[in-house]
Structure 1
Amino acid sequence: MSLGRTYPGLRVVDLSENIAGPLACMVLGDLGADVVKIEPPGTGEATRRLSPRWGAESAVFLTLNRNKRSVAVDARTPSGRDAVLRIARGADVVVESFRPGVAERLGLGFDDLARVAPRVVYCSVSAFGEGPLGRGLPGYDALIQAFTGIMEMTGDPDGPPARTAPSAVDISTGLWATTAIMAALARRQERSGAERVTASLVDSGFFLLCHQITGYLGTGAFPPRLGSGGPSTAPYEAFRTQDGTIMIAAATDRLFRRLCDALDLPRLSEDPRFRRVADRVTARMELAALIEDRLCQAPSRHWLDRIAKAGVPVGPVHTLAEALAHPLTAERGLLRTADPGTVPGLRQIRLPIDSDADCAMKHPPALGAHTEEVLTEAGLTREEIDDLPPSTAMEGTAPPR
């Protein structure tokens, strides 16, 4: 069955901004749900104004808001709030990422939505949770990486702490929110009433460190900053060659012996310093220097072919352009062209769980493109729609991450 038709007829109201909440709603939209995105008139949600841009549109917004309909109403006003509640009447899912307490002040909290959508799954996304310590803290992906220790253990051993290039905390939070929503939808068969689920960036950040945390609690040793290396085995990192860089993942003793043979360094595998995985982790720097000295004697292509022929996991270190141009990317059908819309030729990455080449990918909406359509569906009259006040901002939304 096509994953694109998993949730036909499901109504999702997206009150969220930035990355985590919109990603969760987009996944549901990609899987067939009708997603209505509520945005403040005039400006739209914060990511519409970010760089880089594809033409006049923000790449971040375009990436996270396909398969949605945009409604521009000011939820700060009584009439705007009432319009949102009428749109949400009977909704299956509502996702919000206001700062803790703001949704309730606006009259869009869990209890408010449960009155108009009695079986709704209401998902709240926050930065540091809703407790007395976390509710007031700012919610940037980079701040979470710094707070949880991700940043301190990322980067070169002799360099400063580094942020991971992808917005890993935001993206993983969005996926955890999706998981929680899907689980709650499955539970609806066994319960009556609405259900609230939550996802927070700080929890996701810590979970990304799950095995490092277990290792630290068991040994008391802080995870070292290893650059491209891994903490559990060696050689398992990127090495310079005569003309570039390659990644070698010789994770076991058997693979290490094969690597030594491929490099014409058979004695290395018998050296007491490197005989077992634990030995090689301890002597990581010495081992890396010996391997890299050998690799620098020939170009990358020579070593890629030779090491792969020996059965050792090895690969090139691509630029993004090289990775996207690789035939494997086309084989996997990873890039899709959106339906005709406001950005000609827009191509995006598909969901990694969807292998159906015919899965619909509707273009991310222009601000307010579906306002009249959705409000009319919700039962508002022409006069009520015309009376909705304009605005340029929505109270309490989190800043862009």
Structure 2
Amino acid sequence: MKPMDGLLVLDFTQFMSGPLCTMILSDLGAEVIKFERPPVGDTSRFSPPGKMGASSYYISLNRGKKSVLLNLNDEGQKTAFLEIVKRADILVENFKPGTMEKFGVGYDALKEINPRLVYAAISGYGQTGPLRQKGALDLVIQAVSGLMSITGELNGEPLKSGTSFSDAASGLFATIGILAALRKVQETGQGDYIDISMLDSTFALLENAIARYCLTEIVPKPLGNRHPSAAPFQAFETKNGKVFVCSISDENWQSLAKGINRPDLAADPRFRTMLLRQQNVDALGAAIQDELKSWTAEDLMAAMDKAGIVNGQINTIDKVVTHPQILARNMLMNVSYPGAEPMKTAALPIKMRSLPEESDSYCAGLGEDTLDVMVNYGGLGKAEAENMYRDIFAAVDKVVSERAIK
């Protein structure tokens, strides 16, 4: 049994933030019905790269979900959807504020037919404030939030994160909010409305940069791979790759210097305290690098492990997916898609003794579960549903044949 078995999630999300949230809920046992507007559905289904009609991007965020075609402008489909809402526990959407309300299915309308509903809305700037109606994507939020201003090298161009940081942050905060609201439902029988802003989520995770500025009023600058207060705390080049080495205290520094056979550096008056090392960080880094250029990555990591210094090699993705630790933790899984060979994606990182680890999953094709859900959940008769969707299925097939990644 999984922790969220028996819970029904209605998914009106696309791209990354919302789909990440609902995929986690699915991995934890919830039944997730992803509603997609015909005939195109979630456009990320057609995002390259991919093969045999399946997008690796889409599959990596949508495993374990059912796919149902829904046009809320169609009264018959809308009526069936409202029947489904009556039995739902959670609804997640990531449209601009007011979009669901335009179709008459915003939170205030839905709670009238299901007071226990937990409704999570993810948007770029939140449901309130002067920018509430402004469009947003991950990179824009990285820019607006200040994240890009502290990413990269000093005096270099502002850089984005190597992954969709703001999307991931808001998706995770939405999941946390949903779990908290479900606890409230248990206690009171009443659902709740969860307002998640991508900007808020990113801002909250800038942690040290925000706190430092509020205290000192000094604008943080990008530090490359260095730490704002600890040193040495950076990558060093070896004969066969870069290794990240982290000294977090004066005692730690003494051990590091001895570990690389340079106790003289620990005695150098420029490097005796954390503050002095930070003030002389360039000279410190150069002295350590001069020593380590003749070392192998393996020898350096072994020496640091022995000295009790946190360290790790900078790996490329091809090395990570075959890393013994990743494999030991079962962090890759195979996801099947109609007509395509299984693809590997990252697995759920939440490890629970009561949660079975899965190595295989399935990602539904566009509209694959429409008739089943509309009949068994929406109250339509089988013939009624088939007649309602006959032309829609034909239009979907045409789009898929034209856009799917071959």
Q: TM-score under structure 1 normalisation? A: 0.91
Could you say which residue in structure 1 is the equivalent of 2:373?
A: 374
Give 1:384 deviation, angstroms. 4.6
Match of 2:92 among 91, 95, 103: 95
Pairwise CA distance, 1:13: 0.4
Please name the residue that 2:295 is paired with.
298
- After the TM superposition, which residues 168-317 of structure 1 pair with which residues of structure 2 at under 5 Å, given as runs? 168-317=165-314
Distance 1:134 1:96 in 2: 18
Structure 1 residue 151: deviation in Å?
0.4
- The equivalent of 1:321 in structure 2 is 318
Q: Is the alpha carbon distance of 1:255 and 1:339 closer, same or farther for their aligned partners in structure 2, counting shifts above 3 Å?
A: same
Q: Which residue of 2 aligns with 1:364?
A: 363
Aligned-pair CA distance for 1:227: 1.2
2:384 is the alignment partner of 1:387: no
Matches within 5 A, 1:88-167: 88-167=85-164
Q: Relative to structure 1, is the Cα distance of residues 362 and 302 closer, same or farther in structure 2, using a 3 angstrom cutoff?
A: closer
2 CA distance for matches of 1:112 and 1:300?
A: 60
2:69–2:367: 8 Å Cα contact kept in structure 1? yes
- Cα RMSD of the aligned pairs, angstroms, is 2.0
Q: Which moved more, 1:271-280 or 1:379-388?
A: 379-388
1:29 to 6, 9, 26: 26
Q: 2:347 is matched with which residue?
A: 350
Contact residue 59 and residue 335 of structure 2 kept, 8 A: no
- CA–CA separation in structure 2 for the residues paired with 1:339 and 1:182: 28
Q: Which residue of 2 aligns with 1:396?
A: none
CA distance in 1, matches of 2:16, 2:81: 21
CA distance in 1, matches of 2:271, 2:176: 42
Q: Which amino acid aligns with 1:125?
A: I
SS in 2 for 1:318: coil
Give the counterpart of 1:49 among 34, 43, 46: 46
Question: Secondary structure in 2 aligned to 1:347?
Answer: strand
Indicate the residue corresponding to 1:83 in structure 2: 80
Does the residue aligned with 1:18 lie in a helix, a strand or coil? coil
Deviates more, 1:289-298 or 1:186-195: 186-195
Amino acid at match of 2:106: G
Runs of 4+ aligned residues of structure 1 deviating over 6 Å after TM superposition are none
The 2-side partners of 1:384 and 1:327 are apart by 50
- CA shift, 1:340, in A, is 7.3
% identical aligned pairs: 32
Q: Distance in 1 between matches of 2:89 and 2:359?
A: 21
- The alpha carbon displacement at 1:117 in A equals 2.1
- Change over 3 Å in CA distance of 1:132–1:311 after alignment to 2: closer
**C-alpha distance in 1 between matches for 2:83 and 2:359:** 28
1:360 Cα deviation after fit: 7.5
**Contact 2:335 / 2:362 at 8 angstroms: preserved in 1?**
yes
Letter in 1 for 2:47: L
CA distance in structure 2 between the partners assigned to 1:124 and 1:251 by the alignment: 40
Q: Secondary structure at the match of 2:282?
A: helix
Summarize the Cα distance change of 1:54–1:352 in structure 2 as closer, same or farther, 3 Å threshold.
Answer: farther
The alpha carbon displacement at 1:140 in A equals 0.8
Query: Residue 375 of structure 1 contacts residue 385 of structure 1 at CA under 8 Å; is this kept in 2?
Result: no
CA distance in 2, matches of 1:34, 1:304: 44
Shift of 1:216: 1.1
Residue identity in the other structure for 1:379? G
Say which SS state the counterpart of residue 345 (structure 2) adopts: strand
Contact 1:239 1:248 in 2 (8 A): yes
Counterpart position of 1:395: none
Give the aligned residue type for 2:118: V
Equivalent pair of 1:81/1:108 in contact (CA under 8 Å): no
Gaps of 5+ in 2: 397-406
Structure 1: gaps spanning 5 or more residues = 393-401
Distance 1:201 1:361, change over 3 A: farther
- 1:398 aligns to what? none
2:286 alignment partner AA: A
Cα-to-partner distance string for 1:276-306 (whole Å, 9 max, x where unaligned): 1121122212211111121113332332223
Map Cα deviations across residues 45-80 of structure 1 (whole Å, 9 max, x no partner).
121122232542222210111111000122233333
